[in-house]
Structure 1
């Protein structure tokens, strides 16, 4: 049998751990356990088991209910090959070395090593009364994480005041000082009875990086699980209460 599908670029990766499989898929060469977004499995080989975890432990589940943010998770155990994807979004792999945490919009988390821990926290400056709903997932430890973006992202080096739309900001260095900028002081938020959609922006200061995707779609709450699986694009910056309870 002959086909362009049998070309080397379509062949399965043979590396272990979390790896990119092409540009829109993640392959995990598994011998142990990994955490992945619920509903993101598109194929697997070998002896693997799948356990739904909500948002990762009792504390994380309760916090997700309060904030609307979080990652509907499954724990995958065993030995074999696991293939993950989320609505054909681009996949990127980041290695954490323990020197700094990584803050991520929950809608963009695809999979991460079990050696990493995460918590749900409110962006500094987003008060309880803010309608911006700025909550996010903070990952710490040593390990690898796979994230998704809608389209090719840009990585901004933060060495001067930097601002981004809350739905376009995918991930950033946790050591950065963050805040919420309200852009209505000169009537910018109102144009002939319509808002510009730019009323709230995230501000970043310090030394680090911000990953921005080519999309600013309104967030969809992750409360209650994964929705329609890997096609749902669940998660996002949602909710109106702060991070009061401990995570996983």
Structure 2
């Protein structure tokens, strides 16, 4: 488990900071940071003076209760002591130090007064913002005088190598080898990172020009962390192992530089119909795609599967595809040019469909 804020294992607070090896004393509740030891300190056993057998029962103090048996519990029970004998009440040899040795194991809550024992009992912590723990990776004074959920660690950068989702709508890539990303998708980066325009060659350029399947890429290399996003859309990561996937060009966010990509026509379509060309990536590596909302993944092997050409995001590259036109139902099914088209899928594989058909372009007034 990497250094970060996690739910408090004791249950006493919302969050407790894990430094990578142990739980620390730093805690947080509703964005306010504080200090609270993971385990209350046990009270030291009072020293007992040796006495003769005749006076042992009268002079030996009550042993304190054992604390800390439950590692996540509160202070131990308050031990009960016998009422003093009449001879003890009249004994003038008792000193304040002796009285303190009998009362040192009683908690402040039970006494309702200041504990005067040599080693103070662990008590409830009163939050002190000045002692707040820094968010993971930050210096202690980075957020001096500031509290809140944005800086308590839950939104800190994710640790770990490779590619992973920083959150549902942002991708974080730790650059150890070059990768490809959609131009304009970088929102932040740290380190020595370089971005270079990546052309696809003359053949791909002509395909983009004639099909409208735009995929302008940049090559990212160097060392550091790069954060990518696209209009706040949901981000998903797929790992390919010697296989391929066909993706709508508008849904490609980034992929391994070692993957091969090309613009391919959906079988059954033509350039004249438009919008029926996808970007296919093949090989072994990772690819990050975006969806406008949370998608549904359909199993094309269960039954004949149809998807709107604007809502389908990606599908297994080995699926058989064709186009289906529903001219008579154009007013009810599909949207766009007036000729309703759906992609038909058959075979063993999956189809990813988003709950959106893309941005609606307002009609021109001229």
Q: TM-score, normalised by structure 2?
A: 0.55
* Greater mean deviation of Cα atoms: 72-81 or 3-12: 3-12
- Which residue does 1:139 correspond to in 2? 281
- Which residue does 1:117 correspond to in 2? 260
Q: 1:86 and 2:230 equivalent?
A: yes
Give the counterpart of 2:315 among 156, 163, 172. Answer: 172
Give the paired residue count: 213
Contact 1:110–1:146 (8 Å) recurs in 2:
yes
Q: 1:47 to 1:134 in 2, by over 3 A?
A: same
- Which residue does 2:147 correspond to in 1? 2
Query: 1:176: Cα distance to partner?
Result: 0.3
Which protein shows a greater Rg? 2
Query: 1:90: Cα distance to partner?
Result: 0.4
Q: 1:20 and 2:161 equivalent?
A: no
Contiguous gaps of at least 5 residues in structure 1:
221-248
Give the counterpart of 2:179 among 23, 26, 34. Answer: 34
Distance in structure 2 (CA, Å) of the matches to 1:61 and 1:128: 15
Distance in structure 2 (CA, Å) of the matches to 1:190 and 1:3: 51
Contact 1:9–1:22 (8 Å) recurs in 2:
no
Distance in structure 2 (CA, Å) of the matches to 1:173 and 1:195: 25
Mapping of residues 186-225 of structure 1, within 5 Å: 187-190=328-331, 199-217=340-358
Q: What are the Cα deviations for residues 89-147 of structure 1, in whole angstroms up to 9, with x where unaligned?
A: 0000000011x310000000000011111010110011344x24300000000000110
Contact 1:170–1:211 (8 Å) recurs in 2:
yes
Query: 1:4: Cα distance to partner?
Result: 0.2
Which one has a larger percent strand, Structure 1 or Structure 2?
1
Distance in structure 2 (CA, Å) of the matches to 1:209 and 1:108: 16
Query: 1:190: Cα distance to partner?
Result: 4.9
Higher relative contact order (CA 8 A, sep 6+): 1
Contact 2:213–2:275 (8 Å) recurs in 1:
no
Q: 1:58 to 1:128 in 2, by over 3 A?
A: closer
Contiguous gaps of at least 5 residues in structure 2:
1-145, 362-366
